[in-house]
């Protein structure tokens, strides 16, 4: 038995309640952004943004559609981030959540490179940087609560439940309304299946979803793993240097009075 999420993009109104509910629950600070001619912001996932909504204007002749897609960790059934992690800091819990243990992490960022969806993000601005990513709100799961994003979704576009049940729901919806949905549950089979799955009315490649086969990716991680022994020494030296630079920048940043940071950040 493992949990999952079914995200039905045809129901998403792009209100971004999920984006803020995630930051609210996980106490993530705001990022400094600017309007780049789009509603989409922040521009990408980061250590401070574990989920966000991407906005897609799709023109079909004179007809325009506007599709909103939630990006974030897919909680792969066979997570390549976990496979790539040389110290076992990432693992998939029996209930399906792919989680991270900072205690074990050495900051090698292999998980970042291994992830097919570009999810794990490094805390570049921290003196003791961690890898950050969606935890499926594991602290909520432990209390029998659904993840913050799913709970806050006004239209039920994000449904949380047993993955198998959600798959059935998804198939039933597609069968009932073949005119509405593309015949594809993204995440049902991709990279061996993911816990977070999507339904859409437009082909997923138009929404920037990468195209993957059903083969689980962890085997690619093994290739990366072979590079570990010679690299490890270099990493140690580099990390020392990086730490020094970051610490210096952090000190300088703390003197700035840029308001667009979480208050607790200023206390440091």
Partner 1 sequence: MKLTRRQFLKFGGATALLVSGRLPTPALAAPRPAKVRWTKETATICPYCAVGCGIIVGVANSKVVNTEGDPDHPINRGALCSKGSSVSQLANSRQRITKPMYRAPGSNKWKEVSWDWALDEIAKRVKETRDATWVEKDVKGRLARRTEGLASVGSAALDNEECSLLVKALRGLGVVYLEHQARICHSSTVAALAESFGRGAMTNHWIDIKNSDAILIMGSNAAEQHPISFHWVTKAIEHGATLISVDPRFTRTSSKAHIYAPMRAGADIALLGGMVKYILDNNLYHREYVVEHTNAPLLIDPKFKFSDGLFSGYNPSKRKYDKSTWAYQTDSNGVPLRDTSLQDPHCVFQLLRKHYSRYDVDTVSQITGTSKETLIKVYKDYAATGAPDKVGTIMYAMGWTQHTYGTQIIRASAIVQLLLGNIGRAGGGVNALRGESNVQGSTDHCLLFHILPGYLKTPRTSDETLDRYLKHYTPASSDPKSANWWQHYPEYAVSLLKWMYGKNATPENEFGYQLMPKIDDETNYSWLALFEAMYAGRIKGFFAWGQNPAVSGANANMARKAMENLDWMVAVNLWDTETSSFWQRPGVNPADVKTEVFLLPAAVSVEKEGSITNSGRWAQWRWKAVKPLGDSKPDSWIMNQLMIRVRKLYQADPGPDPEPVVKLAWNYGPGEVDTRQVAREVNGWAVGDVKDNKGNVIVPAGKQVKNFTQLRADGSTACANWLYSGSYNEDGNMMARRDNTDYHPASIGLYSKWSWAWPVNRRIIYNRASCNIKGEPFDPKRFVIRWNGKRWEGDVPDGGWPPGAKHSFIMKPEGYARIFGAGRADGPFPEHYEPWESPVKNILHPDQSTDPAFKIWKSEMDRKGDPKKYPIVGTTFRLTEHWQSGAMTRNLPWLVEMQPDMFVEMSPELAAEKGIKNGGKVIVESARGSIEAVALVTRRLQPFRLDGHLVHQVAMPWHWGYKGLTTGGSANVLTPPVGDANTMIPETKAFLCDVRKA
Contact set with partner 1 (CB under 8 A): 11, 13-17, 19-21, 23-25, 27, 29-39, 41-42, 57, 59, 64-68, 99, 101-106, 126-128, 130, 135, 138-140, 142-143, 145, 148, 151-156, 243, 247, 259-268
Separation CA 21–CA 261 (nearest Å): 17
- Smallest distance from partner 1 to CB 192, Å: 26
- Smallest distance from partner 1 to CB 214, Å: 31
- Smallest distance from partner 1 to CB 100, Å: 9
- Smallest distance from partner 1 to CB 141, Å: 10
User: Closer to partner 1 at the Cβ: 34 or 183?
Assistant: 34
User: Closer to partner 1 at the Cβ: 19 or 193?
Assistant: 19
- Smallest distance from partner 1 to CB 48, Å: 9
User: Closer to partner 1 at the Cβ: 256 or 267?
Assistant: 267
User: Closer to partner 1 at the Cβ: 222 or 266?
Assistant: 266
User: Closer to partner 1 at the Cβ: 123 or 192?
Assistant: 123
User: Closer to partner 1 at the Cβ: 94 or 263?
Assistant: 263
* DSSP secondary structure, the chain, as one string: --EEEEEETTT-----HHHHHHHHHHTPPPPP----SSS--SSS--SS-SEEEEEEEEEETTEEEEEEEEEE---BSS-HHHHH-TT--EEE-TTS-EEE-TTT-----HHHHH-TT---EE-TT-SS--EE----SHHHHTTTPPPHHHHH-TTS-EEEEEHHHHHHHHHHHHHH-TTTS-S--BTTSGGG-BSEEEE-SS-GGGGTPPP--SS-THHHHHHHHHTHHHHHHHHHHHHHHHHHHHHHHHHHHHHS--SSS-HHHHH-
- Smallest distance from partner 1 to CB 208, Å: 17
């Amino acid at each position: 038995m493992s949990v999952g999420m079914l995200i039905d993009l045809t129901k998403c109104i792009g209100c971004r309640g999920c984006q803020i509910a995630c930051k609210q629950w996980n106490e993530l600070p705001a990022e400094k952004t600017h309007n780049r001619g789009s509603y989409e912001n922040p521009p990408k996932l980061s250590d401070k943004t574990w989920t966000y909504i991407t906005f897609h204007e799709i023109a079909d002749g004179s007809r325009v559609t506007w599709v909103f897609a939630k990006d974030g960790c897919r909680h792969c059934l066979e997570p390549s981030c976990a496979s790539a992690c040389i110290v076992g800091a990432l693992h998939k819990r029996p209930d399906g959540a792919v989680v991270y243990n900072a205690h074990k992490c050495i900051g090698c960022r292999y998980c970042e490179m291994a992830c097919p969806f570009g999810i794990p993000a490094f805390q570049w601005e921290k003196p003791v940087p961690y890898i950050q990513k969606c935890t499926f709100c594991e602290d909520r799961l432990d209390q029998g609560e659904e993840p913050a994003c799913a709970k806050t979704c006004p239209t039920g576009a994000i449904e949380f439940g047993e993955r198998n049940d959600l798959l059935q729901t998804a198939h039933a919806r597609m069968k009932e309304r073949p005119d509405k949905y593309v015949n594809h549950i993204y995440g049902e089979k991709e990279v061996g299946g993911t816990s977070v799955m999507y339904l859409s009315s437009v082909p997923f490649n138009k929404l920037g979803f990468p195209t993957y086969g059903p083969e689980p990716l962890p085997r690619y991680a093994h290739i990366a793993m072979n590079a570990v022994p010679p690299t490890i020494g270099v990493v140690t030296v580099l990390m020392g240097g990086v730490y020094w630079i970051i610490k210096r920048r952090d000190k300088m940043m703390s003197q700035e009075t840029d308001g667009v940071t979480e208050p607790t950040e200023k206390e440091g």
